[in-house]
Amino acid sequence: MIKSTRVSSNITLILRLFVPTFCIVFFGLTAIAMLFADSYSLPFPAVPGIRFILFGFFLLCFLFMYFTIMKLKRVELSTTQLLASNYFKTYAYQFRDIESVKKYNLLIVKLWIVRLKYKGKFGKRIPFILNKAQMEYCLEQMGLSDFNEVLNLQTDK
């Protein structure tokens, strides 16, 4: 068994699983209740089409979550490979299969997107929120010279 260290943040679990589940259940049930309620029970009965406005808002929020936070992965690094997980399945990718690494600073968190040379089970892009302390530990203690080469030579700036 290969020893690996998690480099993605713990907040990934909350953002990936709990926030979408709560929002979809709560706002989805609210949207369904609005669709089937009589017009006098609605919060704004005088506004025409309020049912469809609220349902459209729910749909836009769902699509936003689906294309952003629900794509986040848990990422671990070993000495020879990157392990990506959606908390149900884990797939390993060799460092030589990484095309580039993009880094984005989003005020509170650092988003990294690993782009693979070939499409894998999670697609060509593996986005994750970086845990800086864990990454520094990995690079220093585990001696990840192959991954350092990927970061130094193939990182998009």
On whether both 138 and 95 belong to a single domain, the answer is: yes
Query: How does pLDDT run across 9-26, given as a tens digit for each residue?
Result: 999 989 998 999 999 999
Q: Are residues 117 and 76 in the same domain?
A: yes
Terminal C-alpha separation, the chain: 35
Asked if the structure places residue 57 within a domain, the reply is: yes
Does some domain include residue 1? no
pLDDT value at residue 126: 95
pLDDT confidence tier of residue 156, bands split at 50, 70 and 90: very low
Residue 155 has what pLDDT? Answer: 46
Percent of the chain with pLDDT over 70: 87
At 41-81, the pLDDT tens digits run 777 766 777 778 888 889 999 999 999 999 999 999 888 88
128: domain CATH number is 2.30.29.210
87 and 44 co-located in one domain? no
pLDDT of 134 above 80:
yes
List Cβ<8 Å contacts ≥24 apart for 39-44: none
What is the number of domains present in the chain? 2
Residue 148 has pLDDT above 90, yes or no: no
Whether the Cβ atoms of residue 83 and residue 90 lie closer than 8 Å to each other: yes
pTM of this structure:
0.79
Work out the average pLDDT over 102-130.
91
Q: Is the CA virtual torsion 123, 125, 128, 131 positive or negative?
A: positive
